Chain A
Amino acid sequence: DTGVSQDPRHKITKRGQNVTFRCDPISEHNRLYWYRQTLGQGPEFLTYFQNEAQLEKSRLLSDRFSAERPKGSFSTLEIQRTEQGDSAMYLCASSFTGGDYGYTFGSGTRLTVV
Chain B
Amino acid sequence: GESVGLHLPTLSVQEGDNSIINCAYSNSASDYFIWYKQESGKGPQFIIDIRSNMDKRQGQRVTVLLNKTVKHLSLQIAATQPGDSAVYFCASSPSKLIFGQGTTLQVKP
Contact = CB atoms under 8 A, between A and B. Distances in A.
A104 B3 CA distance: 21
B4, B45, B99, B101 pick with most chain A CB within 10 angstroms:
B99
Interface in A1-43: 4, 33, 35, 40-43
A110 B41 CA distance: 9
Interface in B7-61: 32, 34, 36, 41-46, 49
B99 A44 contact: yes
Contact of A105 (B44, B100, B102): B44
Interface size class of A (residues with CB under 8 A): 20 to 34
Interface in B74-93: 89, 91, 93
B45 A56 contact: no
A45 B43 contact: no
B102 A42 contact: yes
Interface in A93-114: 93, 98-99, 102-108, 110
Interface SS of B by simple majority: strand
Contacts of B101: 40-42
B44 A43 contact: yes
B89 A56 contact: no
A79 interface: no
B7 to A, nearest CB: 14
B94 to A, nearest CB: 10
A43 to B, nearest CB: 5
A48 B46 contact: no
Contacts of A42: 4, 89, 91, 99-102
A56 B102 contact: no
Nearest to A101: B49
Contacts of B100: 42
Contacts of B36: 105
Nearest to A47: B96
Interface of B: 4, 32, 34, 36, 41-46, 49, 89, 91, 93, 95-102
Interface of A: 4, 33, 35, 40-45, 48, 56, 91, 93, 98-99, 102-108, 110
